[in-house]
Structure 1
Amino acid sequence: MTDGVREEDRVRLAPGVMLRQDRVRGHWQLLGPERVLILDEVALEVVRTVTAQPPATVGAAIATLAAQFDAPREEIAADVLEVLGDMIAKGFLTR
């Protein structure tokens, strides 16, 4: 599910959401009002890349991640759009 996320979009953390590392448990998470989303390594890289300052377009983030992981852009794009759509639907990210 992509929730209509397009490569031209700029994605940011939703109001009240913070990216934090849980040092006790050793993982990264998105903390929102009364909710937590634990991030795996891939989701963490996606969030960091799309929310970097200045904010990159989703397409630019896809290109960066494809180069970083030396992976086909089409595969990275599908994964990134799915992850972002899910996080937007859950209210952790916004456009």
Structure 2
Amino acid sequence: MPTTHLCGDITYLRTGQGWMYLATVIDLSTRMVTGWQVADRMTSQLVIDALAMAHRGGYVAGNAIFHSDRGSQGGFNRWSQHQVLGPMVAAL
């Protein structure tokens, strides 16, 4: 069912002015990118902003499950494999 199962990751992008970081949130049912954010630093706020974008667009159900690869990057691993998007995004 759309908006209930989401995944995300952070991608490194090399630019002419240095590294940029792209955080994405993808709906696993539709394979649609529902939230994204780009920044020059990899911070937890980058991930929060990507999740907030998905939520503002109506792509996060109240009982959504979010999964990431549990990498060492700050941000996505805090919410990996937990059913916390409803309470977490509601506070934004």
**TM-score, L = length of structure 1:** 0.29
**TM-score, L = length of structure 2:** 0.30
- Per residue, is there more helix in 1 or in 2? 1
